Structure 1
Amino acid sequence: MRKTRKTTSAAQAPLLGPRALNRATLGRQLLLRRSRLSAEAAIEHLVGLQAQNVKPPYFALAARLDGFAPERLSALMADRAVVRIVTMRSTLHTHTADDCLTLRPLVQPARDRELTVFRAKLPGVDLDRLAALARDLVEAEPRTMKQLREALSAKWPDADPQALAIAARCKLPLVQVTPRGLWGRSGQVALTTAEHWLGRPAEPAPAPEAAVLRYLAAFGPASVKDMQTWAGLTRLREAFERLRPRLVTFRDGDGVELFDLPDAPRPDPDTPAPPRFLPEFDNLLLSHADRGRVVPPEYRGRTWQGNQAYATLLVDGFLAGVWKLDADALVVEPFGRLDAERRREVTAEGERLLRVMYGRSSPYGVRFGTVLR
């Protein structure tokens, strides 16, 4: 059971049950009704997309946008309007160029904490000097992590090579240059600084209050701990308290205080939620301390096996199964029984996804089968 401070005001605040939280979050995440936003505007609204692998951001937008085509996101990457960079939770995200230059400074304290884990493996290493040398290397030409390890090891032979490269990534805002991330092309990971790639300097980190407002617009209603989970940051309560006069509050079934924007959509809990196919690591499942608004208790942990994350299926707004692209089919494995109407809806949504991503000549069909092993 979560331990979260309960205040008198929280105890008196209106209750939001799991379905109310689910519909509100799906609405903010563009998953109740597909949006006509451009890919770039959607990425900005969602404050980035989780992007450990190349394809998930494409599938994330396909689930959320009406009229999306993967070539549109690919073009944004080629034009440097969006980039791939480590930000939230020390994981790779796709961000707009503007957000890249501000959100990375916002989460720098988390990168500094990450660096302390490796400090013992860096005897005699001046981290500021390492950052300056690494910057010179990657701005002279994009470097792979292997090339960065080798170059830095030549300067500090007694240090752990992997720790040297990670230190450079923690100290510098390193972006993955194209063709990495392009649809149908991609390539190996090569890095340079965000400032060099985008041709302009980093900007000051936004005030924590501004970040809170953007988080609530995309993920609310939410608790302080929810946002800290999303950002990988700590000590955000003061920012929420400063904003309290501008926000509305609710409580969940455990009495945890939830904050929200006064005019943000909070749809009726009975609002229909069509099936949606989400990629592995989708923001929807990773951006709250309590995932009960999307993940039923009986399905907790079902989307992971070891280090393997599975793409997920939503039915009626909640996690209901996993899926994968096999040799000739989009294979769907529901966690429970789907009646005939639900199966038709899931099949239709899968067929739509395949048309969006691969065109009408897609080699894939949709079938129900086994994904988890």
Structure 2
Amino acid sequence: MTVLDARALNRATLARQHLLERGELSVPEVVAHLCGMQAQEPQEPFTGLWSRLAGFEPGRLDEALTGRAVVRTHLMRRTVHLVTADDALAWRARHDAMLRQRVLGTYRPELAGIDLDEVAAAGRAVMADGRPRSMTELVQTLEERWPGPPRRALGELLVAALIPMAQLPPRGLWQQTAGVRNLPLSTWLERDIDPLPVDGADPVGQQLLRRYLAAYGPAASADLRAWSGLAGLPAAVKAARDELVVFRDERGRELLDLPEAPRPHPDTPAPVRFLPAFDNAILGHHDRSRIIDAAHLGLSVAGHRTVLVDGRVTATWAVRDRRLGVSPLRPLTRVEQEAVRAEAQDLAAFLDDWIEHVVFDDPALS
């Protein structure tokens, strides 16, 4: 069985994430290919798309959001994601049990004894008038009936688990600051959520597996579980196994993949790329060693923006005091410095004309 080392896995993932070469796709097309983009920080997807799409302009994402081609909603791992309307409707029911379990796992004592179906029905009744509401406004209408739980616990239960919600624009639009206004997903998209099959089949699970491998593979079942928050989808993996190819990584783990998916040569050059906080390419696996060293794993979880050099996380970046600052995690060669600076200057021009300088935080690397 073929063994794929970390560099081979790195190049495969970069190719599928459109980080080896910027693509020519539309915003809905790339969001669909990526199986969504983590988006709890509303402005971060703009940088993620800029790093993946040739000539990306912020208005393209704004149009997709206001035109309802893409939507902000709680989905994988109970995290706010930017997903296409079609995927939100097709995948939501498959995630319902996980979303409930995760909210209950966080607030189990506070929500003890509450009938979840009654809370969901009451929430839907309030939202039936079609008026968007903040989480606070929604909870205020229900807290007389359920005065015990803290507002935060009851609100998260409603908007992140019990009622499939869309977070409406202007939340998530370019350089706009806006609070969260929720509306039921089916109301905003004017289509019903796809129900789960009654025969116990799992077509959505099989679709998630194939789509995940297309964007993140080759990958292990543990990677799929870490990305989705679902319990590994063993039935889907079993059903699709004969259609997949199998590799091993250097630790001996079994990796599944689509037969025709790109697996570039490990020596394929990887350009410098600036990634937003919580980027898919880093958080999309249980074993992230293909793209980030163990010593730096906490950076992405903590929301630091990162820089890929030769395909690996090698620096962090931030904008402050009219400067785009780069903080290397190791000494950079002169050639690497020049490549990072060039990409940083392009990113600065994209983010805002008022960014005057690109600086390396370590004076020795300036």
TM-score under structure 1 length normalisation: 0.91
3-state SS of 2:358 partner: strand
Distance (whole Å) between structure 1 residues aligned to residue 193 and residue 27 of structure 2: 23
3-state SS of 1:178 partner: coil
1:152 aligns with 2:149: no
Q: Superposition pairs for residues 201-350 of structure 1, below 5 Å?
A: 201-204=192-195, 206-303=203-300, 308-350=302-344
3-state SS of 1:95 partner: strand
Q: Is the 8 A contact 1:121 1:160 kept in 2?
A: yes
The equivalent of 1:174 in structure 2 is 165
Q: Is the 8 A contact 1:56 1:279 kept in 2?
A: yes
Cα shift readout 1:73-131 (whole Å, capped 9, x = no counterpart): 01111111111101111111001111111122221121121243334423553321211
3-state SS of 2:340 partner: helix
Q: Is the 8 A contact 2:322 2:354 kept in 1?
A: no
Q: Can you give the 5+ residue segments of structure 2 that lack an aligned partner in the other structure?
A: 197-202
Cα shift readout 1:274-306 (whole Å, capped 9, x = no counterpart): 0100001001111111000001234333445xx
Distance (whole Å) between structure 2 residues aligned to residue 364 and residue 93 of structure 1: 32
3-state SS of 2:183 partner: strand
Which letter maps to 2:314? A
3-state SS of 1:222 partner: coil
1:121 aligns with 2:113: no
The equivalent of 1:58 in structure 2 is 46
Alpha-carbon offset, residue 152 of structure 1: 1.6
3-state SS of 2:278 partner: coil
The equivalent of 1:85 in structure 2 is 73
Alpha-carbon offset, residue 188 of structure 1: 0.8
Cα shift readout 1:10-39 (whole Å, capped 9, x = no counterpart): xxx200000000000000000000001111
Q: Is the 8 A contact 1:49 1:283 kept in 2?
A: yes
3-state SS of 1:155 partner: coil
Alpha-carbon offset, residue 136 of structure 1: 2.6
The equivalent of 2:27 in structure 1 is 39
Which letter maps to 2:156? I
Distance (whole Å) between structure 1 residues aligned to residue 181 and residue 344 of structure 2: 34
1:200 aligns with 2:188: no
The equivalent of 1:9 in structure 2 is none
Change (3 A) 1:235 1:34: closer
Please report the RMSD computed on the Cα atoms of aligned residues, expressed in angstroms: 1.6
Deviating more after overlay: 212-221 vs 134-143: 134-143
Cα shift readout 1:14-70 (whole Å, capped 9, x = no counterpart): 000000000000000000000011111100100100001111111100010001001
Q: Is the 8 A contact 2:222 2:232 kept in 1?
A: no
3-state SS of 1:292 partner: coil
Match of 2:36 among 48, 64, 74: 48
Alpha-carbon offset, residue 159 of structure 1: 3.1
TM-score under structure 2 length normalisation: 0.92
Aligned pairs, number: 353
The equivalent of 2:358 in structure 1 is 366
Distance (whole Å) between structure 2 residues aligned to residue 129 and residue 297 of structure 1: 45
3-state SS of 1:207 partner: helix
The equivalent of 1:4 in structure 2 is none
Cα shift readout 1:206-260 (whole Å, capped 9, x = no counterpart): 4311110000000000000100000001142232122111110100010000000
Distance (whole Å) between structure 1 residues aligned to residue 38 and residue 23 of structure 2: 19
Q: Is the 8 A contact 1:139 1:192 kept in 2?
A: no
Deviating more after overlay: 149-158 vs 340-349: 149-158
The equivalent of 1:162 in structure 2 is 152
Q: Is the 8 A contact 2:283 2:300 kept in 1?
A: no
The equivalent of 1:19 in structure 2 is 7
3-state SS of 1:41 partner: helix
1:191 aligns with 2:188: no
Distance (whole Å) between structure 1 residues aligned to residue 299 and residue 193 of structure 2: 40
The equivalent of 2:200 in structure 1 is none
The equivalent of 1:5 in structure 2 is none
Match of 1:356 among 339, 346, 350: 350
3-state SS of 1:60 partner: helix
Distance (whole Å) between structure 2 residues aligned to residue 369 and residue 120 of structure 1: 45
Distance (whole Å) between structure 2 residues aligned to residue 214 and residue 364 of structure 1: 41
Q: Is the 8 A contact 1:69 1:357 kept in 2?
A: no
Which letter maps to 1:250? F
Deviating more after overlay: 172-181 vs 205-214: 205-214
3-state SS of 1:67 partner: coil
Alpha-carbon offset, residue 366 of structure 1: 1.1
Distance (whole Å) between structure 2 residues aligned to residue 301 and residue 202 of structure 1: 36
Which letter maps to 1:332? V
